[in-house]
Amino acid sequence: MFEVRILGTGSYAPDNVVKNKDISKLVDTNDEWIVERTGIRERRVSTGEETSMLSVEAARRAIKDAGISPEDIELIIVATATPDNFIPSTACMVQKELEAKNATCFDVSAACTGFIYAVSIATQFIKTGQIKTALVIGAETLSKILNWEDRNTCILFGDGAGAAVLQRSDKQGIISLYTGSDGTGGEHLVLPAVQLNNPYCKSNNDTKNFVSMNGREIFKFATKIVIKCIEEVLKDTPYTLEDIKYIIPHQANAKIIEFVAKKLKVDNSKFYINLDRYGNTSGASIPIALDEVNKKGLLSSGDKIILVGFGGGLTFGAQLIEWS
Ligand code: COA
């Protein structure tokens, strides 16, 4: 089995900044409530860029950071719940724009855990020797599936993309992986797709393609599962939480992260947080945060980090990574 390391990262978000007070003009809410309950102050909202376009920009930055050329990429996975189309996949659209002609391309649907799943899949491709280099992207335009009249959800989410180049390595990189799902909790976070409707089955369902959520249930699930994921990736390794420089969690709600930090008896500062500026960008949140940590120079070779995600499905997972 080969080792796998993260060679480069990139991220991109639309320029349009929407602050809490801007949303309070659309629904009955206010900055104080949103900051107090979530930690979110602003988010980016697309004024025309689709998920594939955000993906391409994040990918270009990751490719530059990695110092590779698009022809080196043998696998492109885009984690998204908000693709431009069902067909072609976002990954194929990215391939076309990058001219990454040697890549196999597909999308992964695992909601906010999408990037974690996609990194796990790419890691297996590289570990087994099938490929050397993969591009993994998490990208969303959640603004198009929000009900902007529903204050329970429209305050939470934002648009953006993050990417990472993974490559075969001689040195330890991705140390351990953990993924899981619990379909019995699927009803707590739902984004309907196209409804069944054909000459043999007329639909009387006018469901809109809006996300709906039972916030309390998701909160309970998140706080439990993030702890389990962290414990699972540390299990059977020589490392403990003390050895971890940063935990980069899915950026859903600062309260979830504070709760987890307290339970694990670690300082909040071990968790990297940028949700105050982006809101919850679902599959994009972890790679955007990872890119910030990388570009700010917060990591040195040998540092250990944990990426941890949770989301609709329900889905969850984590990676323990040695930075190099
Ligand atoms: N502004 C002002 N008031 C709001 C509001 C808003 N945006 N949204 C809800 N409220 C109101 C509710 O109507 C309710 O009022 P009531 O007591 O008069 O009925 C009150 O605030 C409390 O609502 P509740 O839904 O119980 O709040 P909460 O403390 O659970 O916080 C969330 C709501 C969504 C912030 C919180 O549950 C959460 O973050 N859950 C996790 C969501 C998540 O992470 N999802 C993504 C997973 S990948």
- What are the pLDDT digits (tens) for 172-184? 999 999 999 999 9
Q: Is 218 in the pocket of ligand 1 (CB under 6 A)?
A: yes
Distance (angstroms) between ligand 1 centre and the Cα of 152 equals 6
Indicate if 179 and 224 belong to the same structural domain.
yes
Among the three residues 147, 171, 195, which one is the final residue of a domain in this structure?
171
Q: Is 89 in the pocket of ligand 1 (CB under 6 A)?
A: no
Indicate if 167 and 192 belong to the same structural domain.
no
- The DSSP 8-state label assigned to residue 160 in this structure reads E
Q: Distance between CA 26 and CA 43 in Å, rounded? A: 15
Closest ligand 1 atom number to CA of residue 37: 35
Q: State residue 24 phi and psi, 5-degree precision.
A: -65, -10
Mutation test of ligand 1: which of 24, 29, 34, 37 has the most ligand atoms closer than 8 Å to its C-beta?
Answer: 37
Indicate if 144 and 184 belong to the same structural domain.
no
Indicate if 265 and 314 belong to the same structural domain.
yes
20-66 tens-digit pLDDT: 999 999 999 999 999 999 999 999 999 999 999 999 999 999 999 99
- CA 271, distance to chain mean position in Å, is 15
As a whole number of Å, the CA-based R_g of the chain is 19
State which residues form the domain around 234. 175-322
**CATH code of residue 274:** 3.40.47.10
- The total of other beta-carbon atoms located within 10 Å of residue 296's CB is 9
Indicate if 200 and 167 belong to the same structural domain.
no
- The DSSP 8-state label assigned to residue 269 in this structure reads G
Atom 7, ligand 1: residue with shortest CA distance: 151
Indicate if 288 and 307 belong to the same structural domain.
yes
Q: Is 253 in the pocket of ligand 1 (CB under 6 A)?
A: yes
**What is the pLDDT of the chain when averaged over all its residues?**
97
Q: Is 309 in the pocket of ligand 1 (CB under 6 A)?
A: no
The domain tally of the chain equals 2
Q: Is 155 in the pocket of ligand 1 (CB under 6 A)?
A: yes
Give the max Cα distance, the chain. 61
Indicate if 189 and 317 belong to the same structural domain.
yes
Distance (angstroms) between ligand 1 centre and the Cα of 300 equals 39
Indicate if 185 and 161 belong to the same structural domain.
no
104-163 tens-digit pLDDT: 999 999 999 999 999 999 999 999 999 999 999 999 999 999 999 999 999 999 999 999
Indicate if 267 and 248 belong to the same structural domain.
yes
Supply the pTM of this predicted model.
0.97
Indicate if 167 and 31 belong to the same structural domain.
yes
Indicate if 30 and 167 belong to the same structural domain.
yes
Closest C-alpha among 217, 132, 196 to residue 167: 132
- The DSSP 8-state label assigned to residue 194 in this structure reads P
- The total of other beta-carbon atoms located within 10 Å of residue 271's CB is 23
Indicate if 127 and 10 belong to the same structural domain.
yes
Among the three residues 150, 171, 192, which one is the final residue of a domain in this structure?
171
Q: Distance between CA 79 and CA 32 in Å, rounded? A: 32
Q: Quote the pLDDT of residue 207.
A: 78
Contact (CB, 8 A) for 181 and 315: yes
| Residues marked as catalytic | 112, 250, 280
Mutation test of ligand 1: which of 38, 80, 219 has the most ligand atoms closer than 8 Å to its C-beta?
Answer: 219
Return the SS3 of 149. Answer: coil
Q: Is 8 in the pocket of ligand 1 (CB under 6 A)?
A: no
Among the three residues 171, 188, 210, which one is the final residue of a domain in this structure?
171
For residue 260, what are the CA distances in angstroms to 44, 194, 221, 229? Answer: 26, 36, 12, 11
Closest ligand 1 atom number to CA of residue 310: 48
Supply 30's token pair: 């206010």
269-317 tens-digit pLDDT: 999 999 999 999 999 999 999 999 999 999 999 999 999 999 999 999 9
Atom 34, ligand 1: residue with shortest CA distance: 215
